Structure 1
Amino acid sequence: MFFSVVIPTYNRKPILEKCLRSLEQQVIPPNSPIEGYEVVVVDDGSTDETVGWLRANAAALPHVRLFLQDHQGPAAARNLGVEKATGDTIIFIDSDLVVTEVFLQAHAAALVEGTKRLGSDRLFTYGRVINTCNFDDPTAEPFKVTDFSAAYFATGNVAIARHWLEQAGLFDTRFQLYGWEDLELGVRLKNLGLTLVKCPAAVGYHWHPPFALSQIPNLIDKEIQRGRMGVLFYQKHPTWDVRLMIQMTWLHRVLWGVLSLGGRLNERTLAPLLQWLIDRGKPQLALEIARVFLNWYNVQGVYAAYDEFLASKA
């Protein structure tokens, strides 16, 4: 098999450098089913020095192929990456993911074993993603309970035969705001009968800066965007499972309404507590507490977008 690692990126130059260097350090044993690999980077209209850095360091990144597009979002970027890829097997990762040296081999071994076990390539492998804010040494982070994911198809770390993506129809480029474009494609792949095969040996370390109060406006905006894209997801797949995923149920409305005291526990009222935790070296705990009001914003965003949708149909 020939791997095409597809990476969309937008203004993430510092961590992208680590991401791409980790992919250049892959160890592929002589008996590996991997015949070769490429790294297809799609720059989604970055305004930092991403493109200049990639071009200046092309000799040090021999597996990288760079393509450019205007800022259209990750769905369009991933579709362009698949279109330009030469491999028969696609691996999706995000540009803020740093992988171990056995990353590609682990996916390959799991794909081969899964195909033998199922008697078909109607599957994809899902690697482990570990969240970290350690920029200097991201791979030092241990796996935590909060790193567990029950998602069926999340593009942070998956490998899949290219023809299944093409048969499913690739990503829906109407998902231009934050969220859901990968899980929506996952619904279509599930309808094709693909099996998720866990691949914990294919580890990616997802870096993000330590939580700070200055990030809250952007996080709130993302939750509102995620709510709007969730309604698009539900329009395409009006099922109870999707309603649960996008938090468009009375249960979620009551849960986050109660936990946030009807929105009274918010970015303003909780700011002193969050800053106190950050000052004591507990930014992750502060973020988990902030998720109470972030989820409340998400649920509010979902229902606001759904009301707009219903009004447009009236």
Structure 2
Amino acid sequence: MVKQFSVIVAVYNAQNYLQETLVSLQRQTYREFEVVMVDDGSTDQSAEIARQFCISDPRFRLLSTPNRGISPTRNLAIEHARGDWLAICDADDTWNPHKLEKQAAFIAAWDDRAHGPLAALGTAGYITNRFGQVRRVEDLGITTLEDYRYWRDEIGQMAMINSSVVFRKDLFFEVGGYRADYTPAEDTDLWTRLAGRGVVLNLPGRLTYYRMHGENISESSYVRMMLNARRVRANSGRRRAGLPEYSYDEFYAHLAEHPEQLARLLRQLRHEMHYYVARNRWNNGRRLGGLGRFLRATLLAPERSLRLLREGYLHRLRRGQAA
């Protein structure tokens, strides 16, 4: 049973979206929550926006630090959290009004004796652009115990929308919190380690809106993010085998033992990066920048780029979004 959620909002130069994010928290139909915000040295009006919510709503609190990065900022917020369950919401994302209500009901109905402890619970959702327009759905699966066991044991990585996840605070501290050296895959690393302490699932309902506005860290650090995702999987296996985990440099050195394979991997990731950025630029109305990035992706892998473009178009056509 959830006594209270502590919603964790790390804030850094988010003035364009923060108001909408915090209003979506206020509109939650489930009322038993607090919001712990940490301003990570913003140089815009983010802190002032957050401060106004603290004045008008006693559930909101604001801490401030010099800029340290996303993992230390979230860890600090969680140290000050009062709830027994934590909920992450990035400062540019939003929630369906019933999100916490549905997660609280699922947690209340969960049977620890039958299934083991529930460690974390996410949701499906939508990808939106900088204007808040839905561009595609994001359904990552892992909705059953069988899915959970397969992803934990066979894949070694848990797939969740970061801003959708609620998780147990006691288990968060048991596994050591967010680890900064995994940024920008620090969330995937956390969910995967939590999966070793309890069940990690996603609700199939689309209750989270993840904003891809073209300035996300996942875009600016795409290659490192994907290498860290591979490191998450490698270290998951190493933990099960009782071996020490790879640092980023150690993992890269391990990959470099096979230089031809590493070169192919890096080429693939650079292609994915250009295609990823091209799609985000296009979806945000920056059509010239999107075409330029798509050209760079096509130069690296012509057939794959055209196949992805065709698959994306057919998917939108099926959903009535091709225009």
Q: Normalising by structure 2, what TM-score?
A: 0.66
2:98 is matched with which residue: 86, 102, 127?
102
Partner of 2:128: 132
Assess if the C-alpha contact under 8 Å between 2:10 and 2:37 holds in 1: yes
Partner of 1:203: 207
Q: Secondary structure at the match of 1:80?
A: helix
Query: For residues 179 and 288 of structure 1, what CA distance do their matches in structure 2 show?
Result: 21
Give the letter aligned to residue 152 of structure 1. Answer: M
Give the letter aligned to residue 186 of structure 2. Answer: E
Query: For residues 279 and 133 of structure 1, what CA distance do their matches in structure 2 show?
Result: 6
Query: For residues 251 and 266 of structure 1, what CA distance do their matches in structure 2 show?
Result: 18
2:140 is matched with which residue: 143, 149, 152?
149
Distance 1:280 1:174, change over 3 A: closer
Query: For residues 219 and 68 of structure 2, what CA distance do their matches in structure 1 show?
Result: 21
Give the letter aligned to residue 88 of structure 1. Answer: D
Is 1:184 matched with 2:194? no
1:56 Cα shift?
3.3
Structure 2, unpaired ranges of 5+: 142-156, 302-323
1:287 Cα shift?
9.7
1:10 is matched with which residue: 2, 9, 12?
12
Give the letter aligned to residue 166 of structure 1. Answer: F
Structure 1, unpaired ranges of 5+: 29-33, 297-314
Assess if the C-alpha contact under 8 Å between 2:54 and 2:62 holds in 1: no
Q: Secondary structure at the match of 1:75?
A: helix
Assess if the C-alpha contact under 8 Å between 1:129 and 1:206 holds in 2: yes
Q: How does 1:101-120 map to 2 (within 5 A)?
A: 101-115=97-111, 118-120=114-116
Is 1:158 matched with 2:151? no
1:202 Cα shift?
5.9
Is 1:72 matched with 2:68? yes
Q: Secondary structure at the match of 2:16?
A: helix
Query: For residues 261 and 239 of structure 2, what CA distance do their matches in structure 1 show?
Result: 12
Q: How does 1:1-314 map to 2 (within 5 A)?
A: 1=2, 2-28=4-30, 36-115=32-111, 118-133=114-129, 135=131, 138=132, 141=134, 143-144=136-137, 147-149=138-140, 152=158, 154=160, 155-175=162-182, 178-192=183-197, 194-201=198-205, 203-209=207-213, 221-226=220-225, 239=238, 253-254=263-264, 257=267, 289=294, 292=297
1:254 Cα shift?
3.4
1:169-227 deviations in Å (ceiling 9; x for gaps): 1112344xx412122223322222x2122213361111233x6xxx79x8774125436
Query: For residues 283 and 180 of structure 2, what CA distance do their matches in structure 1 show?
Result: 38
Query: For residues 130 and 228 of structure 2, what CA distance do their matches in structure 1 show?
Result: 30
Across the aligned residues of Structure 1 and Structure 2, the Cα RMSD in angstroms comes to 4.5
Assess if the C-alpha contact under 8 Å between 2:103 and 2:121 holds in 1: yes
Query: For residues 112 and 78 of structure 2, what CA distance do their matches in structure 1 show?
Result: 26
Aligned residues: 268
1:99 Cα shift?
0.8
Q: Normalising by structure 1, what TM-score?
A: 0.67
- Structure 1 stretch displaced more, 114-123 or 278-287: 278-287
Assess if the C-alpha contact under 8 Å between 1:9 and 1:46 holds in 2: yes
Q: Percent identity, please.
A: 20
Distance 1:48 1:167, change over 3 A: same
Q: Secondary structure at the match of 2:187?
A: helix
Assess if the C-alpha contact under 8 Å between 1:92 and 1:159 holds in 2: yes
